[in-house]
Structure 1
Amino acid sequence: MSIWENFWDLIWWFLWAFAFIAYLFALFAIIGDLFRDQKLNGWWKAVWIIFLIFVPFLTALIYLIARGKGMAERSQKEYSQVRAAQEEYIRQTAGTSASPSDEIAKAKALLDSGSINQQEYEALKAKALSHTA
Structure 2
Amino acid sequence: MDDYPLLNLFWTMLWLFLWVMWFFLLFKVVTDIFRDHGLGGWAKAGWLVLVLVLPYLGVLVYLIARGKSMSARDAKHAKEHEEAVRQYIQKTAGSGSNSVDDLSKLAELKDKGHITPEEFQRAKTKLLA
Fold match (TM-score > 0.5): yes
Note the C-alpha offset of 1:115: 2.8
**Residues 71-119 of structure 1: CA distance to partner in whole angstroms, max 9, x if unpaired?**
0111111111111111111111111637x8x688536415424337xxx
Note the C-alpha offset of 1:35: 0.4
Structure 1 runs not aligned, ≥5 long: 121-133
Q: Where does residue 31 of structure 1 map in the other structure? A: 30
**Is 1:2 the counterpart of 2:2 in the alignment?**
yes
Q: Where does residue 126 of structure 2 map in the other structure? A: none
Q: Which moved more, 1:106-115 or 1:19-28?
A: 106-115
Q: Where does residue 84 of structure 1 map in the other structure? A: 83
- The code of the aligned residue for 2:2 comes to S
| RMSD value, Cα | 2.6
Structure 2 runs not aligned, ≥5 long: 122-129
Aligned length: 115
**Residues 47-74 of structure 1: CA distance to partner in whole angstroms, max 9, x if unpaired?**
1111112211121111112111100111
CA 1:105/1:27 → structure 2, altered by over 3 Å: closer, same or farther?
same
Quote the sequence identity (%): 38
TM-score by length of 2: 0.74
Note the C-alpha offset of 1:29: 0.7
**Residues 26-63 of structure 1: CA distance to partner in whole angstroms, max 9, x if unpaired?**
11110111001111111121111111122111211111
- The code of the aligned residue for 2:18 comes to A
